[in-house]
Amino acid sequence: MNLPEINPDLGGSLEINQEGLVEQAQYIASPNHDARPAPGDISMVVIHNISLPPQQYGGDGVVELFTNSLNPDEHPYYAEIQGLKVSSHFFIRRDGNLLQFVPCTMRAWHAGVSEWRDRQRCNDFSIGIELEGSDFDAFEQGQYSTLNRLLAALVERYPIQDIVGHSDIAPGRKTDPGPHFEWSKIQHKSRINPKI
């Protein structure tokens, strides 16, 4: 899958419309979502990292995974995850380019088995943001810039109370966004989990 290179104008603020789409993002619809149990309950952001193949950047693997079009013959790891039905609301590439796969108003399948503040099934009430990266590499400044603009838009539109890592809601099972994610670069510290 060769997608056109789209670099949205991320100068200034991002706008989220009534359908839960960021107007400046490239929207690629993922089938891997469903309705939230309580549509108005969008109170948390979960930050992840992802790269496909692992630790390789710039390809179409993540897009193909989220759209169920990953070819298991292209890489040995793809054969291992064949049939996996996952998605995230957003994906921020290494250059800061922003893609959206699921409207914020819908439930993306990003968190898996998870718990936060005695609430299970974090997909029900969270927004998932995937950063192109891994536990082994530093993230790019452009990614932090886009992430902060996105977080500002989310906090303005929805009653966000917590911004956490995948490892915070699935400890022992998940490690992302990983040791190289710099929480100090997140501007919404009043909403961040207490480890900051």
- Is residue 3 in some structural domain? no
* 53 cis-preceded (ω within 30 degrees of 0): yes
- Is residue 67 in some structural domain? yes
- Is residue 56 in some structural domain? yes
- Is residue 18 in some structural domain? no
- Is residue 17 in some structural domain? no
The domain of 126 spans 26-191
Residues contacting residue 21 through CB under 8 Å, at least 6 positions apart: 27, 100, 103, 104
Look at the chain and report how many structural domains it folds into. 1
- Is residue 74 in some structural domain? yes
Return the CATH number at 143. 3.40.80.10
Q: How far apart are CA 83 and CA 80, in angstroms?
A: 9
pLDDT of residue 187: 84
- Is residue 64 in some structural domain? yes
Catalytic residues: 130
pLDDT of residue 3: 43
Residues contacting residue 111 through CB under 8 Å, at least 6 positions apart: 46, 121, 122, 123, 126, 128, 166, 169, 170
- Is residue 35 in some structural domain? yes
pLDDT of residue 196: 41
pLDDT of residue 193: 54
pLDDT of residue 192: 52
In 3D space, the residue among 128, 122, 133 whose CA is nearest the CA of residue 49 turns out to be: 133
Q: What is the mean pLDDT of each run of 10 residues along the chain (196 residues)?
A: 46 92 97 96 97 97 98 96 96 98 98 96 98 98 97 95 96 96 83 49
